[in-house]
């Protein structure tokens, strides 16, 4: 598939999106307070933040790279995309393609390796199986529609497994792999019906050696995912319900059936560009639409990831020259500060007309993201429940002239802080809160806050190598469902093999992810993992550990 054909398909999706929105009409803005806007600054009702009321665990924010279609990122662009410092996007999720031709599997490897080294999660989506596994059929007026042969389902599962193994052997431990990109919008790739996806999940997905994503419907069409949720065997063999949001109205963001039947599963938004692919990514205030869209994806839909289409593109978060666009700056107001393992917490979503607020917690850190789409500034009070904390509040701002710009620190008093939200802006606030009840979301939860999970690290060294045994204890009062232990190996140390976890990369900042059989840590439970490594004389131990982003107590 060529780049032009791909972006033509994307354009067609956008035309359909506009049609859908025109048909449904504009959705009303939920207004908590009456309009208070004046020619200058206005006041809004207080936004109440409850750090003890957890919602979903956040896996991260990111974008797609597809070197075969648009070329790979440069080394500098990779650092801009996945670094977390000033001037970076702070993306923690990378999506890559599963090429149908094994000879092309290395195209996206360098970017994936660097993303992993910078702590990002990598997952993959296929557009087509190998040609030998497909057949053509007539679908409506399309006489050359393509589908996977029923007789090739097992071979296709092996194809996905082979890609997973290839990436793992090259230092990229995929978090998950998808069955099919947009199976319900496949004029130029492979069609799947909902029934075919269920059949594949039931009979073949269980053999795939990483987490499985389905169905990645182009418009979050529930008739594609409902059959999975309603089939116990298919549901047991899928780990993540994935969706795209092309033309999906906000009214269709909530998914009650997933809330009812998706316990233990994750809910990801795996592709979108918004509101279009025709405007420049630097268009302002149009880029603010991205901020509102992300707000609804987190708050109304409860997604755990938010993944843009092409990372580097004229309409994307990174321009073709490698600089962050306005759309990228708006995304970075979330991605740089709301890190993997943080939990979205309850917050007043719309304290005033055209003001959108979401909040997140990681251990004792609370992050608030406020989008003000009004043409005037708003004086907004934020009040944190269950605390009388006083202290400093850090702030960053994106508006017409600034991109994720650090602002003067604000002062919180008795758990409350008042902030001026400039006209047409996104503001991110970060503060520390102690003494509140620990969040414990139902799925893929982070370790509870407090003293932190407990880690014991024991080494046995010799002239050129060592083994390390690591014990991880859940010191909280709720189970941890799915964990990643992160630590930095001292210079000269490199892992050669490991047990009871998957390790990537081999050196530097290492992520050790649970195996299939030890992903749940009950309160008070301990899991032991380990690895063998080489060294060049430096046998120091890692200085610090985090579990799902939460700092650990080392004993």
Distance CA 291, CA 371 (A): 6
Q: Measured between alpha carbons, how far is 120 from 115 in angstroms, rounded to an integer?
A: 5
Task: Report whether 264 contacts 479 (CB < 8 A).
Answer: no
| Cis peptide upstream of residue 215 (ω within 30 degrees of 0) | yes
- The residues with which 312 forms a beta bridge, in sequence order, are 318
Q: Which residues contact 209 (CB under 8 A, 6 or more apart)?
A: 161, 164, 165
- State the catalytic residue, choosing from 86, 182, 196, 216: 182
- Note if 182 is an active site residue: yes
Whether the CB-CB separation of 210 and 204 falls below 8 Å is answered with: no
d(CA 492, CA 484) in angstroms, rounded, equals: 23
Helix (H) or strand (E) holding 21: helix 3-24
Tell me, yes or no, if 7 is annotated catalytic: no
Helices 326-335 and 288-299 pack at an angle, to 10 degrees, of 30
* Nearest residue to 89 (alpha-carbon basis) of 328, 315, 325: 328
Among residues 196, 271, 320, 541, which one is catalytic?
271
CA distances from 164 to 208, 241, 316, 404 (A): 9, 19, 28, 36
* Spatial separation of the C-alpha atoms in residues 429 and 417, rounded to whole Å: 10
- CA–CA dist 374, 35 (Å, integer): 11
Q: Check if the beta carbon of residue 360 is closer than 8 Å to that of residue 92.
A: no
Quick one: DSSP state of residue 228? H
Q: What contacts 555, CB < 8 A, 6 or more positions away?
A: 454, 455, 456
Return the beta strands (E) in 296-424 as ranges: 305-310, 343-347, 355-362, 365-372, 378-384, 391-398, 405-412, 416-421
Instruction: Please state, as a whole number, how many other Cβ atoms lie within 10 Å of the Cβ of residue 397.
Output: 20
If you search the block for the tokens 């990681």, which residue do you land on? 362
Query: Are 417 and 381 contacting, i.e. CB atoms less than 8 angstroms apart?
Result: yes
Strand runs labelled E in 200-351: 211-217, 240-244, 266-271, 305-310, 343-347
Which of the residues are catalytic?
182, 271
């Amino acid at each position: 598939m060529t780049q032009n054909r791909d972006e033509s398909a994307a354009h067609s999706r956008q035309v359909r999106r506009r049609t859908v929105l025109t048909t449904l009409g504009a959705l009303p803005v939920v207004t908590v307070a009456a309009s208070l806007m004046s020619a200058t600054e206005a006041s809004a009702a207080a936004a109440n933040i409850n750090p003890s009321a957890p919602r979903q665990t956040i896996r991260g924010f990111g974008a797609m790279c597809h070197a075969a279609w648009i070329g790979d990122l440069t080394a500098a662009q990779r650092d801009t995309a996945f670094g977390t410092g000033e001037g970076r996007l702070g993306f923690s999720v990378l999506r890559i393609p599963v090429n149908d031709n094994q000879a092309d599997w290395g195209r996206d490897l360098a970017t994936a390796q660097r993303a992993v080294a910078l702590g990002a999660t990598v997952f993959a989506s296929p557009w087509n199986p190998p040609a030998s596994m497909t057949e053509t059929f007539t679908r409506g007026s399309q006489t050359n529609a393509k589908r996977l042969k029923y007789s090739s389902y097992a071979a296709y599962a092996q194809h996905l497994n082979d890609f997973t193994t290839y990436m793992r052997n090259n230092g990229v431990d995929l978090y998950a792999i998808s069955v099919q990109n947009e199976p319900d919008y496949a004029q130029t790739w492979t069609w799947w019906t909902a029934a075919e996806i269920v059949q594949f999940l039931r009979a073949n997905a269980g053999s795939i050696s990483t987490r499985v994503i389905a169905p990645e419907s182009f418009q979050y069409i529930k008739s594609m995912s409902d059959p999975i949720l309603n089939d116990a065997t298919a549901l047991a063999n899928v780990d993540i319900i994935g969706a795209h949001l092309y033309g999906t109205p906000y009214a269709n963001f909530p998914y009650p059936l997933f809330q009812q039947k998706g316990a233990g599963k994750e809910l990801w938004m795996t592709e979108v560009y918004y509101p279009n692919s025709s405007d420049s990514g630097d268009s302002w205030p149009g880029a603010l639409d991205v901020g509102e869209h992300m707000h609804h994806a987190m708050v109304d839909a409860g997604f755990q990831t938010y993944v843009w289409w092409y990372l580097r593109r004229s309409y994307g978060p990174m321009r073709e020259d490698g600089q962050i666009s306005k759309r990228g700056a708006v995304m970075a107001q979330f991605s740089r500060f709301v890190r993997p393992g943080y939990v979205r917490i309850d917050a007043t979503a719309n304290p005033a007309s055209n003001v959108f607020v979401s909040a997140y917690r990681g251990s004792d850190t609370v992050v608030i993201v406020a989008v003000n789409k009004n043409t005037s500034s708003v004086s907004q009070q934020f009040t944190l429940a269950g605390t009388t904390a006083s202290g400093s509040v850090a702030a960053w701002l994106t508006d017409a002239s600034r991109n994720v710009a650090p602002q003067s620190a604000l002062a919180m008093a008795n758990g409350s802080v008042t902030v001026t939200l400039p006209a047409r802006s996104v503001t991110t606030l970060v503060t520390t809160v102690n003494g509140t009840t620990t969040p414990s979301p139902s799925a893929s939860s982070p370790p509870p806050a407090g003293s932190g999970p407990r880690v014991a690290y024991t080494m046995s060294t010799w002239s050129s190598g060592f083994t390390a045994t690591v014990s991880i204890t859940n010191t909280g009062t709720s189970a941890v469902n799915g964990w990643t232990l992160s630590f930095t190996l001292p210079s000269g140390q490199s892992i050669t093999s490991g047990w009871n976890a998957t390790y990537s990369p081999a050196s530097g900042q290492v992520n050790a992810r649970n195996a299939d059989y030890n992903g749940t840590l009950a309160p008070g439970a301990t899991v032991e993992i380990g690895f063998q490594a080489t060294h060049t004389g430096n046998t120091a131990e890692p200085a610090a550990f985090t579990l799902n982003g939460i700092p650990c107590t080392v004993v």
